[in-house]
């Protein structure tokens, strides 16, 4: 019998991508999609690419509690998801939350970095960070999964083997990352206006981007120690995709052969991480749930450089959420996700 799922929050890119994958997933059935602003409209009126395929009317999120559901995806803004997680805490369905509301270790850290009050500390106590490559066993048993951010997914997967094996100085990791414009969400702003993005390139969130602490916490989990990351994001004039470059200093001797062996061994049983023989590009992963990684040893500067690429809307959001769902329902984590990247 197919699992019954709901998508809460239909208007954004994440809601659209969840629908794209779930619509053809062999083990689930979309029972409802919600929107408070567009209640009553067909889903396909917001996302015309679904015309004739997914025309179901949008409903209020309050109807979720009345349905016999197995999985609920929260594709909502930061600061909103926590209200529904608290409201539905006694329900039997499992939740994959794609906001940042439960990604960090507690409410105090959340409030410091997100500049918002948090109303549900209990959620932090039960939530599992949804990066399957690091937390697969915990995700399988979880009722609440905090889906990672797109930048932290790319960055953490790029550096994780080095930290896990205690091969680098974790007090001076530098991560330089670039994202397509969809990472800013669907709502227009001065920053995302076409004339400001097209034929342009800029850094933002310097020293204070809230994904910094998410990366530090996850790498710290691997080492059981404090990790310090200099993280700087940049905005690319492209629709989708993230390319992150990390720089770190080895503690002892390093060679390219040793680096290659490390990454191939660490990710040998991780189906969505591809350790590449050449530098990854955005078009190598676009539309797919893959993270492509290429590590490089520079003997001249005594530095390790790691290049990692994902589609921010798939492995950085909706695809990873479905990968987590698969684990939560006892399915193979690749189910419904083995789509080839879109190239050209």
Three state DSSP letters for 224-261: CCCCCEEEEEEECCCCCCEEEEEEECECCCCCHHHHHH
pLDDT score of 62: 95
pLDDT band at 187 (very low <50, low <70, confident <90, very high): confident
Identify whether the C-beta of residue 214 lies closer than 8 Å to the C-beta of residue 260: no
Catalytic residue among 75, 95, 128, 150: 150
Which tens digits make up the pLDDT trace of 6-55? Answer: 999 989 999 999 999 999 999 999 999 999 999 999 999 999 999 999 99
pLDDT tops 90 at residue 190: no
Measured distance CA(13)–CA(186) in Å, rounded: 6
Measured distance CA(286)–CA(341) in Å, rounded: 5
pLDDT score of 242: 98
pLDDT tops 90 at residue 188: no
Measured distance CA(323)–CA(171) in Å, rounded: 32
pLDDT tops 90 at residue 315: yes
**CA nearest neighbour of 304 among 180, 191, 174:** 174
pLDDT score of 29: 98
Instruction: Scan for tokens 């970095």, then name that residue.
Output: 113
The domains of the chain, with CATH numbers, are: 3-147+317-328 (3.40.50.720), 150-310 (3.30.360.10)
Which tens digits make up the pLDDT trace of 113-152? Answer: 999 999 999 999 999 999 999 999 999 999 999 999 999 9
pLDDT tops 90 at residue 161: yes
Neighbour-count burial for 135-164, b at 16+ CB within 10 Å, e otherwise = bbeebbebebbbbbbbbbbbbbbbbbbbbe
Identify whether the C-beta of residue 235 lies closer than 8 Å to the C-beta of residue 204: yes
Measured distance CA(232)–CA(5) in Å, rounded: 36
167: CB partners within 8 A, 6+ apart: 250, 251, 252, 254, 262
Please provide the DSSP assignment of 88-140 as one string.
TTTSSSEEEE-SSTTSSSSHHHHHHHH-S--S-HHHHHH-EE--HHHHHHHHH
Percent of the chain with pLDDT over 90: 94
pLDDT score of 165: 97
pLDDT tops 90 at residue 287: yes
Which tens digits make up the pLDDT trace of 298-310? Answer: 999 999 999 999 9
Joined tokens for residue 24: 């053809």
Joined tokens for residue 53: 């395929």
Rg, C-alpha atoms of the chain: 20
As a whole number, the mean pLDDT across the chain is 96
208: CB partners within 8 A, 6+ apart: none
162: CB partners within 8 A, 6+ apart: 168, 248, 262, 304, 306
pLDDT band at 192 (very low <50, low <70, confident <90, very high): confident
Which tens digits make up the pLDDT trace of 207-240? Answer: 999 999 999 999 999 988 899 999 999 999 999 9
Q: Is 150 a catalytic residue?
A: yes
Q: Are strands 291-298 and 303-310 parallel, antiparallel or unpaired?
A: antiparallel
pLDDT band at 186 (very low <50, low <70, confident <90, very high): confident
Tell me, yes or no, if the pTM score tops 0.95: yes
Q: List the end-to-end C-alpha distance of the chain, in Å, as a whole number.
A: 37
pLDDT score of 261: 98
Percent of the chain with pLDDT over 70: 100
pLDDT band at 191 (very low <50, low <70, confident <90, very high): confident
Measured distance CA(116)–CA(104) in Å, rounded: 13
Measured distance CA(14)–CA(76) in Å, rounded: 9
Joined tokens for residue 324: 């987590």
């Amino acid at each position: 019998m197919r699992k019954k799922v709901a998508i809460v929050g239909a208007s954004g890119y994440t809601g659209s991508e969840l629908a794209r994958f779930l619509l053809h997933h062999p083990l689930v059935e979309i029972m409802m999609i919600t929107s408070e602003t567009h209640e009553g409209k067909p889903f396909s009126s917001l996302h015309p690419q679904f015309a004739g395929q997914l025309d179901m009317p949008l409903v209020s999120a309050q109807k979720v509690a009345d349905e016999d559901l197995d999985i609920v995806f929260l594709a909502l803004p930061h600061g909103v998801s926590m209200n529904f997680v608290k409201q539905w805490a006694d329900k039997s369905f499992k939740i994959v939350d794609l906001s940042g509301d439960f990604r960090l270790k507690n409410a105090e850290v959340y409030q410091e970095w997100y500049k918002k009050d948090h109303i549900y500390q209990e959620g932090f106590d039960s939530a599992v960070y949804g990066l399957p490559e690091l937390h697969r066993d915990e995700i399988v048993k979880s009722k609440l999964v905090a889906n990672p951010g797109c930048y932290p997914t790319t960055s953490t997967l790029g550096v994780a083997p080095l930290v896990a094996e205690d091969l680098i100085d974790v007090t001076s990791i530098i991560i330089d990352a670039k994202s397509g414009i969809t990472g800013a969400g669907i709502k227009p702003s001065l920053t995302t206006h076409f004339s400001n993005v097209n034929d342009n390139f800029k850094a933002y969130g310097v020293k204070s981007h809230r994904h910094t602490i998410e990366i530090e916490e996850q790498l710290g989990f691997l080492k059981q120690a404090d990790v310090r990351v200099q993280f700087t994001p940049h905005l690319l004039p492209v629709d989708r995709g993230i390319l992150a470059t990390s720089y770190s200093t080895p503690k002892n001797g390093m060679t390219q052969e040793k680096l290659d062996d490390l990454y191939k061994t660490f990710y040998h049983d991780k189906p969505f991480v591809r350790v590449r023989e050449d530098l990854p590009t955005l078009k190598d992963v676009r539309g797919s749930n893959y993270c492509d990684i290429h590590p490089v040893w520079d003997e001249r500067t005594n530095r390790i450089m790691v290049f990692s690429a994902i589609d921010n809307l798939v492995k950085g959001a909706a695809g990873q959420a479905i990968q987590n769902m698969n684990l939560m329902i006892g399915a193979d984590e690749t189910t419904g996700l083995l789509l080839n990247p879109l190239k050209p």
